[in-house]
Structure formats: C-alpha cells, structure tokens
Amino acid sequence: MRRIRDTTSGLRLIIFVVYILLLAMPAIVFAVTLDNASPGESVSASVIPNVTTVPTTPVHPVFRFLANSTNAVYPPPFLIFDTPVIENLSCTVFGIVDPGSANVNITSLHIDWGDGQAPEYQGFPFRHVYSSPGTYSLSIVAVQSDGQEVTEITKISVNQPFIPDTTGVPSDSTTPVSTGIPVMVISPPVLTLFEPVIDRMNGTLNGDIRAGSPGVTIDSVSIDWNDGNNTLSADLPVTHQYSGPGIFTVTVTANQSDGQSTTRKITLEIKKEVPTLLGPAPPNPPPDDLPAYFFVIPLAIIGVVIVAVAIVTRQAGKPLSSPGLPKPSSGRAGPRPESIPLPGELETICSGTDVDPGVLCSVIHVAVEIARDGHEGQAIGTAFVVGDSQNVMQYSKQFVLNPFRGHLEAERQIADAGIQGTIKEFAQLDGAFLITGTGVIESAGRCITVDTSQVNLPGGMGSRHSSIAGITRVTKSVGVVVSQSGGRISIFRDGKIVYKIRPS
C-alpha cells in the first residue's frame, strides 16, 4: 500500500509541474513576440486582451528598474558628489553619476562654476581655477537619454593664501618687521593617476594634473614606459604601443613652469594576444521562421515528463527501507570548498596585526561571492585592505564619494549579512574597501597612493594587485584582491602573496 501511495504522489507531482508549464506558455510566447518586434513597432492588443498600464513606482537607482509596460517611465539620473576640495583658488569636485535604469544612459554632465565662465561638459572629477577669491554658487547638471535631468547646487569659498614678507628688518633690532606685502606660496604640481586602460598591445594612461598655485602652469608631462621609450606630452591621456607582452612599471612626471615637478609610478600589464580562428558567420534565419523557443519549450516539457515517470517507476520497484536504520555512507569526506583558509591558517596570516581572524574570514567569504557572481552577470574585480586603518588612511585618498560615511559603526560591520550585499553593489567602483581590524567598514572607492616601484609580483597581475601589495608592505594590514580575469583571490601580507583561492 505504501508503494502505491508513493507512486500516486509522484504522478500528482508530474501533473502539477506540467500544469504550471502550460500556464506559463502564453507569457513566454508574448515575451518572445515583444523581443522579436523591431524598435518602434507596437504589439497588437489582440495578443493579450485587456492589457492595463500599471503606474510605475520610483526605485532607488542602485536597483535596476523593470517597467511593466512598453511605454515605461524610468527613474531620473542618480547624481551625488562629495565636499569640493579647495586649494588656493583651485576647486576639484569628485562624485558619482549613474543612469536611473539599465535601459537609459547619461547623455551629458556639465558644471557651472558660478563665475561667469561658460559651463564645462566633462566627467568626474571636475577641476576649475578661479581668477579671484570669493564665494561662488556651483551647479552640476546630469541629463539622461530620456530627457530627464537632475541638478545639484552648493556654495564654495576660495581664498588667495599669503604670508607676510619679513625681509624688512631694522638695523638695531633682531625682530623681523612685516611689510604687509603678500607673498605667494608656490607648491609642486599635484599628479593623480587613474587605472590604465589596456587594449591589446596599447596602454593608455590618464589622470588629473593640477598646478601647485594659480601663479604657475603645467609645462609638460614626461612618461618613461619602462621599455626603453619615453614620451613628452602637454597633458594626459597618452597612449603607447608596446612591442611585446609583459608587466611594466611606468614613471609619469608632471613638470611645472617654475621648474618644480612631481613623479608617480604605476604598473600595467600587456598580455600576450591569443589568435582567434575566423570562420563564416552563421546564416540569419529567414524572417518568417518560428523562433526556436516554440520548439525547445514543448521538447523540454516532454523531457521533464519522461524523466519524472522514470524516477517514479524506479523508486516504486525499490524495496522500502526500514525506518530508524542509518543510510549507507561512502566513508569518504568531500573536498573542502574553495580552499578557504582554515582557522589556524587565518591566525597565522593575521599574526602581528590588529586584524581579528574572524573578520578576515568574513572578508574572504564576500570576496568569494563577488568572484563567483560578479555584478549583473559581468565579472568584476575589487580589493580590500583590512587593519592598521590609521596608517592606511595616510597612504590613500578618497577616489569617489564614500558611501559609508556618516553611518553608525553598528551599521558597518563586515560580518553583517545585510552590509555584505551592499559591498557587492559598490564593488564595481574604482578603488579599494578599507576595513578596520575589528570589522568596521571605513570607506569604499579608496585610491591607494603608496609607491609600488619596489613591489615584485608574478606575471598576470596588474595595478590593483600592485597597489594592495604596496600598502601591505608599508603598513601592518592584510589585503584581499579579487581578479577580474578568472576570479582568482589573492591574500597579501608584507607586500607578498601568502595565500591563493580559486573559487569553484
């Protein structure tokens, strides 16, 4: 009797699965019809009667918006920027701009500095030098491809620094007397390099170059490509073609009109080109042919029914196991997943630092999920610096707006499952995550400014690995890097790789 009941329950399950698939067929057919319709072509109302347009609800731009009708109204652009950086009469604005939906894009981003100059059209970071000190109204406008726009306005004040001239000293006194004449302080140029862009054998360097003060200008930029070639340019970006693959430490020097200069180094990797076999393109199906969905779906339903019937029939013929008896065991334990470090290995990695092994374990778990899932189906790379936060802050600067700024420490714990989902969203931003040894997330989008010329890494690793190796070399921190190509995870300590993980 029990065997008969099991067989009957299995048949009911099969009938239920087939019923659900048949109910889903009209929706699938309608989706295929919409997908095959040409742009601007409307679908006849006779396909699905009584279609009602449902009003859309605004959703935060971090989450992608899916419209319920063909005439969708998308959310406006997402625009946010940090407090402007003021240096003498120079103002630099860092920020983030993102379209409100994956179905639209940003068509323009411009800024009005409030000093009567024409608005500038460019991307973040913005930089402007005012002709005179004062308070100005700064306005940034982001325009979306569907015509929507967002405007952010803030007030800034710039001043001309001066120090008193103490050259006038009376002959009968040793105390300097100020003449009250302002003396301009001229500093070396400020040079910030962005992550290199690699296209086959071509490497492109870009960055931000600012004069040390309004009284001087940038004369030139000299670049040593570390392959025997040098380039002298008026500004960045600059592109260079290498003759072969390799890892190169490029030296960039910004030269100022007063003779002062600033030098930065950055590592880029040129990979060996793999030739691809070119073949004839697959022929396009005739326009009147039915899509493959109409053949695949019925075959899939038939396959499910056949497999389910076979399983039920096989189990119906098996002898019933006695309750209370243990199931047989193969006696062999499965492999340890992802080769994540054991507790003893975590303690060894964290020894000599202020990093708790449990905190490093949480960071590694987040890195494994990012390496597996990426972002919206696309592989991404990111980096984490854990521990010795005070010194790490001195060797880094905020590259984009810090999304964790202003939140309570209890809301920024790496061990919290909710905050781990937020980390995955912001992992696509440039820069690294900074996490304290106790697990508090200090910032995201942090640009590592340490010198990487003394870093020695194996082939196949780029600037992200070099910067994390460099910061762990000069601080008591632990670095975790997710490689965008291949999803490899490397753990750094004292400028070297101490552990590797390859997620399955």
Tokens of 53: 């347009």
* Burial label, 432 (beta-carbon count in 10 A; 0-12, 13-18, 19+): buried
**Please, which residues have CB within 8 angstroms of residue 283's CB and are 6 or more apart in sequence?**
none
State residue 30's pLDDT score: 59
Q: Residue 181: pLDDT above 70?
A: no
Interval 433-455 mean pLDDT = 91
Selected from 2.60.40.10, 2.40.50.140, 3.40.640.10, 1.10.3720.10, the CATH number assigned to the domain covering 190-270 reads 2.60.40.10
Dihedral over Cα of 17, 23, 25, 27: its sign: negative
Tokens of 398: 């905020």
* Spatial separation of the C-alpha atoms in residues 369 and 367, rounded to whole Å: 5
* Spatial separation of the C-alpha atoms in residues 265 and 259, rounded to whole Å: 20
**Please, which residues have CB within 8 angstroms of residue 428's CB and are 6 or more apart in sequence?**
375, 380, 382
In angstroms, what is the C-alpha Rg of the chain?
A: 31
Total length of the chain: 504
**Which residues pair with residue 191 across a beta bridge?**
209
The model's confidence at residue 10, banded by pLDDT at 50, 70 and 90, is low
State residue 499's pLDDT score: 92
State residue 185's pLDDT score: 59
* Spatial separation of the C-alpha atoms in residues 18 and 301, rounded to whole Å: 7
State residue 40's pLDDT score: 44
What CATH fold (topology level) applies to the domain 337-501?
YojJ-like (1 (3.40.1700)
Pair 200, 213: CB distance under 8 Å: no
User: End-to-end CA distance of the chain, in Å?
Assistant: 45
State residue 481's pLDDT score: 93
- Residue 426 CA to its chain's centroid (Å): 6
* Spatial separation of the C-alpha atoms in residues 479 and 385, rounded to whole Å: 5
* Burial label, 457 (beta-carbon count in 10 A; 0-12, 13-18, 19+): buried
State residue 170's pLDDT score: 53
**Which residues pair with residue 156 across a beta bridge?**
136
Most confident segment among 120-124, 207-211, 226-230, 325-329: 226-230
3-state helix, strand, coil in the chain (%, to 5): 25, 30, 50
Question: What is the number of helices (H) and of strands (E) in the chain?
Answer: 7, 27
Beta strand 382-386 pairing with 432-435? parallel
Pair 478, 429: CB distance under 8 Å: no
Q: Bigger pLDDT: 232 or 37? A: 232
All CATH 3.40.1700.10 domain ranges of the chain, comma separated, are 337-501
Most confident segment among 310-314, 351-355, 481-485: 351-355
The model's confidence at residue 110, banded by pLDDT at 50, 70 and 90, is confident
pLDDT tens for each residue of 141-172 = 989 888 899 999 988 888 876 555 555 545 45
Q: Bigger pLDDT: 443 or 58? A: 443
* Spatial separation of the C-alpha atoms in residues 91 and 414, rounded to whole Å: 34
Q: Residue 131: pLDDT above 90?
A: no
* φ/ψ of residue 461, rounded to 5: -115, 135
State residue 324's pLDDT score: 39
State residue 54's pLDDT score: 39
Interval 425-433 mean pLDDT = 85
pLDDT tens for each residue of 38-47 = 444 444 434 3
Pair 262, 190: CB distance under 8 Å: yes
The model's confidence at residue 435, banded by pLDDT at 50, 70 and 90, is very high
Q: Bigger pLDDT: 326 or 495? A: 495
Pair 185, 163: CB distance under 8 Å: yes
Tokens of 44: 């006849």
Q: Residue 320: pLDDT above 50?
A: no
- Which amino acid does the sequence have at 76? P
Pair 199, 222: CB distance under 8 Å: no
Interval 358-364 mean pLDDT = 93
* Average pLDDT along the chain: 76
State residue 184's pLDDT score: 57
Q: Residue 194: pLDDT above 70?
A: yes
**Please, which residues have CB within 8 angstroms of residue 208's CB and are 6 or more apart in sequence?**
92, 125, 127, 190, 191, 192, 194
User: Helices in 412-462 by DSSP H: which ranges?
Assistant: 417-426
Q: Residue 301: pLDDT above 90?
A: no
Interval 91-117 mean pLDDT = 84
The model's confidence at residue 266, banded by pLDDT at 50, 70 and 90, is confident
* Spatial separation of the C-alpha atoms in residues 384 and 495, rounded to whole Å: 14
Pair 238, 204: CB distance under 8 Å: yes
State residue 387's pLDDT score: 96
Q: Residue 330: pLDDT above 80?
A: no
**Please, which residues have CB within 8 angstroms of residue 221's CB and are 6 or more apart in sequence?**
209, 232, 233, 234, 235, 236, 238, 252, 253, 254, 255
The model's confidence at residue 94, banded by pLDDT at 50, 70 and 90, is confident
* Spatial separation of the C-alpha atoms in residues 322 and 237, rounded to whole Å: 75
**Selection from 313, 312, 301 nearest residue 20 by Cα:** 301
Is 425 strand, coil or helix? helix
Q: Which of 3-12, 115-124, 355-364, 407-416 has the lowest mean pLDDT?
A: 3-12
Give the Cβ contact number of residue 316 at 10 Å: 13
The model's confidence at residue 334, banded by pLDDT at 50, 70 and 90, is very low
pLDDT tens for each residue of 454-502 = 888 887 788 889 999 999 999 999 999 998 887 889 999 999 999 999 8
* Alpha-carbon dihedral angle through residues 472, 476, 477, 479, given to the nearest 10 degrees: 30
State residue 314's pLDDT score: 62
Q: Which CATH architecture has domain 78-166?
A: Sandwich (2.60)
Q: CA of 432: how far to CAs of 82, 105, 240, 368, 403, in Å? A: 17, 26, 27, 16, 12
State residue 27's pLDDT score: 62
Q: Bigger pLDDT: 9 or 411? A: 411
Q: Residue 433: pLDDT above 90?
A: yes
State residue 272's pLDDT score: 81
All CATH 2.60.40.10 domain ranges of the chain, comma separated, are 78-166, 190-270
